[in-house]
């Protein structure tokens, strides 16, 4: 695993964005771990988060894009800090854009979007925290494609949970098949487990519970 991925796992733990215990997810599943990007709240945490996303996007897509699109609401700050980090790390200006949950019908910035307007020919990277059901993509992909003649290059999330979505596939694979663009994550859960087991953060009891969870909910590769 690349060094920056290990740094990201440590960062998730330090920020308490990744926790281990007993959690009931929105889906109703009982999970031994929980990921919450809302835990990144300080200036230094957000700066580092943007840097990790920027590095992962650069590794995956290079500079072959123009816009970072972050779905409301959690995707908005992630898109902003990643655009700033990309400028700092790679000296490339990329624009950010996000959707509004409710369309604004007054003022100079009316419409369904925040940030840069999407333009014909734009190459877009979708960016969000973690995808478990693909619901946010159901809402935002039609908006993005309907706003202009754009090319969606891919989706980058922080953690691939590697569990079933609506089918036996992972949510990321379902999105890839449904919309026809690439999907990726800074780090995948099997990488997290392997690294933290080596560091003795995950003991045998917790490793067993995680393995049992994936026996029931793990996606087919």
Q: According to the annotation, is 132 in a ligand binding site?
A: yes
Q: What is the pLDDT of residues 119-170, one digit of tens each?
A: 999 999 999 988 766 677 888 999 999 999 999 999 999 999 998 878 888 8
Q: According to the annotation, is 74 in a ligand binding site?
A: yes
104 is an active site residue? yes
Cα(189)–Cα(205) distance, integer angstroms: 17
Fold assignment, 3-217 = Rossmann fold (3.40.50)
Q: According to the annotation, is 106 in a ligand binding site?
A: yes
Q: What is the pLDDT of residues 41-77, one digit of tens each?
A: 999 999 999 999 999 999 999 999 999 999 988 899 9
Cα(217)–Cα(105) distance, integer angstroms: 43
Q: According to the annotation, is 128 in a ligand binding site?
A: yes
Cα(155)–Cα(184) distance, integer angstroms: 6
pLDDT at 192: 96
19 is an active site residue? no
Given the residues 30, 104, 117, 199, select the one marked as catalytic. Answer: 104
- For the question of whether the overall pTM of this predicted structure is more than 0.85, the answer is yes
């Amino acid at each position: 695993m690349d060094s920056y991925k290990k740094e990201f796992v440590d960062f998730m733990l330090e920020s308490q964005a990744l926790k281990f215990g007993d959690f009931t997810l929105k889906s109703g599943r009982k999970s031994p771990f929980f990921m919450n990007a809302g835990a990144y709240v300080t200036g230094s945490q957000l700066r580092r988060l943007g840097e990790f996303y920027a590095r992962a996007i650069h590794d995956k897509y290079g500079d072959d894009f123009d816009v970072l699109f972050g779905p409301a609401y959690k995707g908005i700050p992630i898109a902003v800090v990643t655009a700033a980090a990309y400028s700092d790390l790679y000296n490339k200006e990329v624009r950010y854009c996000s959707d509004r949950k409710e369309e604004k019908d007054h003022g100079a910035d009316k419409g369904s979007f925040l940030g840069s307007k999407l333009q014909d020919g734009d190459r877009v990277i979708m960016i969000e925290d973690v995808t478990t059901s693909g619901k946010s993509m159901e809402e935002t992909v039609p908006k993005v494609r309907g706003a202009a003649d754009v090319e969606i290059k891919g989706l980058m999330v922080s953690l691939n949970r590697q569990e079933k979505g609506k089918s036996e596939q992972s949510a990321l694979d379902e999105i890839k098949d449904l919309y026809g663009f690439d999907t990726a994550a800074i780090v995948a859960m099997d990488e997290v487990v392997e690294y933290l087991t080596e560091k003795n953060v995950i003991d045998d009891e917790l490793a067993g519970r995680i393995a049992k969870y994936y026996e029931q909910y793990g996606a087919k590769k």
